[in-house]
Amino acid sequence: MVKKLIQRYLPDPKNIREHRYLRFLGSALHNANLWHLNRRSAATAFFVGIFCAFLPIPFQMVVAASLSIIFRCNIPLAVALVWITNPLTMPAIFYFTYKIGCLILHVPVSEASFELTLHGVGAGLARVWKPLYLGSILVGTIGGFVSYLLIRAYWRWNVVQHWRKRHKRQSYPSE
């Protein structure tokens, strides 16, 4: 049940293998275990995908695919989860992680006033990069770990429910 639900929303493996930014991974993408969906691969992919989604960097999908190869988890799921941060959610998510970083570093939250020039953006980033990255890594790690535990627990619960149903049907023979 869980497996079918997740597989319904996953991107096509062929599209990921042929993605222009992921070609550098080469034959590593052809490992069948990276496309297999089970409790461990799904839970680890949730950790990787959510962690990468909170990283304020370009090419999050490439990082998620690379980490999926390293941790041998489901690539399509990890890459799909990166889209938690999309152009609509990115400002709110990164502002939240920035505030978390400011809280940890005990620095005041900087007002967002910068010029839309290369120099202005660079000066703005110079003020906020430490709390932004610290908050992003912390929230990504915690979010990834919590999602890892929840997926493992939910998957196990679902399997136990199916096992009980099957056992119950086998215990009471139909007349």
Q: How far apart (Å, rounded) are the C-alpha atoms in residues 51 and 147?
A: 10
Residue 110 pLDDT grade (very low, low, confident, very high; cuts 50, 70, 90): confident
The answer to whether residue 174 scores a pLDDT higher than 70 is no
- How far are the Cα atoms of 17, 29, 53, 65, 68 from residue 22, in angstroms, in the given order? 7, 9, 17, 8, 12
Tell me which amino acid residue 63 is.
V
Quote the Cα angle for 152-153-158, to 5°: 100
CA distance linking residue 118 with residue 67, whole number of Å: 31
Least confident span in 24-28, 54-58, 102-106, 125-129:
24-28
Residues 109, 128: Cα–Cα separation, whole Å: 9
Q: Average pLDDT in the 38-43 region? A: 92
- ∠ CA 67-68-72, nearest 5°, is 120
Structure token pair of residue 79:
């890459």
The pLDDT assigned to 156 comes to 93
pLDDT of residue 15: 72
Residue 151 Cα distances to 10, 45, 82, 147, 171, angstroms: 16, 10, 17, 6, 30
User: Which of the four pLDDT bands, split at 50, 70 and 90, describes residue 10?
Assistant: low
The one-letter code for the residue type at 48 is V
Average pLDDT, the chain: 84
Handedness of CA 146, 141, 28, 25 (dihedral sign): positive
Length of the chain: 175
Query: Contact 87/50 with Cβ under 8 angstroms?
Result: no
CB atoms within 10 A of CB 41: 21
Overall average pLDDT of the 65-73 stretch: 93
Rounded mean pLDDT of 68-93? 92
Could you tell me what percent of the chain has a pLDDT over 90? Answer: 47
Q: Are 2 and 154 in contact (CB under 8 A)?
A: yes
Look at residue 123 and tell me whether its pLDDT is greater than 90. no
Q: Is the pLDDT of residue 30 over 60?
A: yes
Q: What is the rounded distance in angstroms from the CA atom of residue 67 to the CA atom of residue 72? A: 8
Selected residue with higher pLDDT from 160 and 124: 160
